[in-house]
Amino acid sequence: MASSLRSWSLCFLMASILAISSKSTIANFQPSPWQLAHATFYGGACGYGNLFANGYGTDTAALSSTLFNNGYACGTCYQIKCFQSPWCYSGVTFTTVTATNLCPPNWSQDSNAGGWCNPPRVHFDMSKPAFMKIAQWQAGIVPVMYRRTDGLRFSFQGNGYWLLVYVMNVGGGGDIANMWVKGSQTGWISMTHNWGASYQAFATLGGQPLSFRITSYTTQETIIAWNVAPANWQVGLTYGTSLNFH
């Protein structure tokens, strides 16, 4: 089983924000194609991942750095199904997990024997309860198919003069080149990169519906999400959209 005892604190912070803010207005369901990976599980009292992920209940996973993408993947929801293993539970379609941790590489273990999270492996170190929904735990490791679901989500932090937006579930390459915010009474304001997929604007935007313009670094697509947040938007809440990069 891969070690996921070291969590990425900001990922935890952002994931907690998402967990606390349940208000979301996600519309359509736009799953990405299924892709192949592997999954192990972590468990037991020493799993910091479990502690850190309290807000999500137990259906969480730590991602290998290939998937984690420097934090851009924090808060992303994945559907995971067990794939072509005798340990798979038959009749189970998939389980849904939220990414709350980095599963760090351990180069003292071979990538094919314990070092499951070593790049370039695509790996989910799932919470034990989540793993046990798709496969028998005695398997230790199973091949899985995974896909990302739904659209971009915007989680708000900050204060009256500073808006910090954490963008979750970013499709395409999973990264963002540029981002702007627009209040109903302002023009487009360029946001600066904070960490991972968090962007900030030092502007007074309270009491206005907010729109975002985002450009994907990988796909070069631009998405304009009009009026994602209503005029009475609040820090601590997450606002959803059905839009995403491809």
Ligand X SMILES: *[C@@H]1O[C@H](CO)[C@@H](O)[C@H](O)[C@H]1NC(C)=O
Q: Which of 85, 109, 194, 227 binds ligand X (CB under 6 A)?
A: 109
Judging by DSSP bridges, how do beta strands 142-148 and 210-216 pair with one another?
A: unpaired
Q: Is 111 in the site for ligand X (CB under 6 A)?
A: no
Nearer to ligand X, 32 or 64 (CB): 64
Backbone angles phi, psi at 14, to 5 degrees: -65, -40
Name the segment binding ligand X (CB under 6 A); options: 8-16, 108-116, 133-141, 166-174: 108-116
Angle of CA points 136, 140, 144, to nearest 5°: 75
The one-character DSSP state at 21 is -
Does 106 interact with ligand X (rule: CB under 6 A)? Answer: yes
136 near ligand X, judged by CB under 6 A: no
Query: How far is residue 207's CA from residue 184's CA, in Å, rounded to a whole number?
Result: 9
x/- binding map, residues 1-40, to ligand X, per CB under 6 A?
A: --x-------------------------------------
From 22, 93, 108, 138, residue interacting with ligand X (rule: CB under 6 A): 108
Non-local CB neighbours of 226 within 8 Å, separated by 6+ positions: 211
User: How many CB atoms lie under 10 A from the CB of residue 14?
Assistant: 25
CB of 106 to ligand X, least distance (A): 4
> Could you list the residues that contact ligand X (CB under 6 A)?
3, 106, 108-109, 114
